[in-house]
Amino acid sequence: MVAAMTAAARGGVTVRVPAKINLELIVGPRRADGYHDLSTVFHAVGLYDDITVTPASQWAVTLSGPYRHLVPETGDNLALKAARLLAQRAAAEAAADPEPAEEVEEPSRGPLRQVPSKPEEPQGIGPVHVHIAKEIPVAAGMAGGSADAAATLVACDALWQLNTDREVLDELAAELGSDVNFALTGGTAIGSGRGERVAPVLSRGRYHWVLAVAKEGLSTPAVFAECDRLRDDRGEHDIPDPQPSPDMMAALRGGDSHALGAALRNDLQEAALSLRPDLQEVLDAGLEYGALGGIVSGSGPTLAFLVDGPEGALDLAVALTASGVASDVKRAVGPAHGAHVLNAPAGT
Ligand code: ATP
């Protein structure tokens, strides 16, 4: 919050965005474009990146926090891509729909003349410095890059006072990545398509999670490729269209953490464990120490354990750390709000 106040003083905007886990991830057949149709239940958890955008003379991105060395401080950074994409979109919209020319009186020449507006340079839109205070583990199946992209869209929209329609933000989010739309939304929601189509789900309750973060990340495309390989090896060619499972829907409707623990499902888990067999020991340990359920988060390698409250979370975190099977253990509560502004830009 102090950072947000400092950012406001410098004319910047700070947005907080949560990590996600997948309570259910059902992988359908591979599509012609290489993606897979998914049915997933996204769940935002209270582990956040804070993104601050400040007007600057050129586009730039910097990072702080424990995972900063794993993320590029270049144009490849998804947050910078998001800022530029929104700027382009706003400029294109301004060019397509220019402000009507103003009529002004010129005292020296008498008659009125037309002063055209400058649609190619919408007021206030220009390079920004994006700073990411990174607490979401990287390449961990928690959609940290997507979260940063979503937060940057929201931050630049506020900084440039664009008031972009939600439909347009969703369009840009889908262009940036499959998990960006959910990071805008937060809470608990169903994702379909390749994950970019997000719809609300009837869900009650707050859930306590213990997250075992691995030292080395896993590449999402590599995990999907391994999933395809394992299916091919088994001769599984008739993969049904993915649908949310009735057990998961019932558990969420009832706000029942025991039922939720039993309903956790991830079709990528086998592939993640095949690429990283060492994770099985951590998964077994979490369940042995009393978790209500445990699952690989998304494409992994983070493991998410559901527990029955804050004390259970502390006990499990201590047990996992003390046993030495997991080096980086975090606790988080879900659902959490999607990308939201922490400070108002000056002048709004
Ligand atoms: P997914 O959304 O596919 O589950 P993930 O959560 O496993 O992804 P990310 O943390 O998003 O993984 O990182 C994936 C890759 O994206 C990393 O190699 C990282 O260097 C790159 N990347 C680019 N920009 C960012 C960013 N702002 N934050 C994190 N990673 C980024």
How many Å apart are CA 166 and CA 86, to the nearest integer? 13
| Contacts of residue 141, Cβ cutoff 8 Å, sequence gap at least 6 | 21, 22, 218, 220, 272, 296, 297, 298, 299, 300, 301, 302
Instruction: Report the SS3 class of residue 120.
Output: coil
How many Å apart are CA 243 and CA 181, to the nearest integer? 19
Question: Which of 157, 170, 179, 267 is labelled catalytic?
Answer: 179
- Residue 131 forms beta bridges with which residues? 52, 62
Residue 108: the pLDDT is 44
Asked if the model's pLDDT at residue 59 lies above 80, the reply is: yes
3-state secondary structure 274-317: HHCCCHHHHHHHHHHCCCCEEEECCCCCCEEEEECCHHHHHHHH
CA-proximal residue: ligand 1, atom 8 (nearest): 143
Residue 347: the pLDDT is 54
Is 215 an annotated catalytic residue? Answer: no
State ipTM: 0.94
How far away, in angstroms, is 86 Cα from ligand 1 center? 20
Structure tokens at 323: 């046993």
Give the residue, 119 or 248, on which the prediction is more confident: 248
Is 179 an annotated catalytic residue? Answer: yes
* Residue among 333, 213, 222, 331 nearest 282 (CA): 213
* Residue among 344, 333, 2, 339 nearest 144 (CA): 339
Residue 96: the pLDDT is 83
Lowest mean pLDDT among 100-104, 146-150, 264-268, 303-307: 100-104
How many C-beta atoms surround the C-beta of residue 115 within 10 A? 11
How many Å apart are CA 113 and CA 17, to the nearest integer? 48
Residue 113: the pLDDT is 39
Residue 237: the pLDDT is 86
Residue 159: the pLDDT is 96
Ligand 1 neighbours, Cβ below 6 Å, are 70-72, 76-79, 132, 138-146, 148, 179, 220, 298-299
How far away, in angstroms, is 42 Cα from ligand 1 center? 17
Sign of the four-CA dihedral 322, 328, 332, 334: negative
Structural domains of the chain ordered from first start? 2-93+124-341 (3.30.70.890)
Lowest mean pLDDT among 32-36, 209-213, 330-334: 32-36
Residue 104: the pLDDT is 46
3-state secondary structure 249-263: HHHHHHCCHHHHHHH
Residue 4: the pLDDT is 54
How far away, in angstroms, is 293 Cα from ligand 1 center? 26
pTM across the whole model? 0.89
* Residue among 172, 199, 2, 4 nearest 88 (CA): 172
Average pLDDT along the chain: 90
pLDDT digits (tens, 9 = 90+) for 214-245: 989 999 999 999 999 999 999 998 899 999 99
pLDDT digits (tens, 9 = 90+) for 6-31: 565 567 999 999 999 999 999 999 99
| Location of structure tokens 């394992």 | 230
Residue 344: the pLDDT is 67
